[in-house]
Amino acid sequence: MRIDIITVLPQLLESPFQHSILQRAIDKGLVEVNLINLRDYSTHKQKSVDDYAFGGGAGMVMTIEPIANCINALKGQRNYDEVIYTSPDGEVLNQKMSNHLSTLTNLIILCGHYKGVDQRVRDHFITKEISIGDYVLSGGELAAAVICDSVIRLIPGAISDETSALTDSFQDGLLAPPVYTRPAEFNGWKVPDMLLSGHNANIENWRHEQSMERTKLLRPDLLE
């Protein structure tokens, strides 16, 4: 898998890919993540990538030329499955979407800034718009990092115990059950006896019941 992230702040996105599961997936060659500085595609003297909004009003708008130059240059080298724009009015990211994205080969993610991008970028270049929740960020970089993290960890081989990604919350439409580790007792607070019983089948049933209860209590909408 290859993910090309177009951003005006490539440095902001370096750290998320230099640690833990994402770094290992990159080192193993399961995914290639390229941070592309949008300013490199600006033909403007000052390398500017934004301008005042037509019609007036507060806030700058990202111009279409550098974005078009950049996306066209990338598309000249390979086919892309999706050209994603991070946007608070996009489809809200969920596990199903991440599962699907993890099966694709080449992705572009465009990070917005200021008041967002010229609408013509969205109309003519973007194939998918993703929000990471109903709140507004200053830029699309953190959203891109969230999307990449949720997607890359699903690529087979990214997590050493592959079943572990499949038993996380949402994969079966339920929240994950509670987990415990040593010590079996702390401050008089005991780990549930069932988990120490050694009966795998019973433990699996117990975990499923716990998942159901937790989901009913915290996210009944998932059961509808």
**Which residues bind to ligand SAH, rule: CB under 6 A?**
86-89, 111-113, 115-116, 131-133, 135-137, 139-140, 143
Answer left, alpha or beta for residue 157, where phi above 0 means left and psi between -120 and 50 means alpha: left
Our CB check for ligand SAH shows the closer of 121 and 159 to be: 121
Residue nearest to ligand SAH (CB): 112
Q: How far is the CB of 39 from ligand SAH (least distance, A)?
A: 16
One-letter-per-residue 3-state SS of 66-106: HHHHHHHHHHCCCCCCEEEEEEEEEEECCHHHHHHHCCCCE
| Calpha distance 112→6 (Å, rounded) | 9
Q: How far is the CB of 140 from ligand SAH (least distance, A)?
A: 3
| Angle CA 69–71–72, to nearest 5 | 65
How many Cα atoms occupy the beta-carbon half-sphere of 199 within 13 Å? Answer: 9
Our CB check for ligand SAH shows the closer of 75 and 115 to be: 115
Structure tokens at 183: 């010590």
Our CB check for ligand SAH shows the closer of 113 and 153 to be: 113
Q: How far is the CB of 10 from ligand SAH (least distance, A)?
A: 15
Our CB check for ligand SAH shows the closer of 14 and 91 to be: 91
Residue 215 DSSP SS3 = helix
Our CB check for ligand SAH shows the closer of 1 and 8 to be: 8
Q: How far is the CB of 41 from ligand SAH (least distance, A)?
A: 17
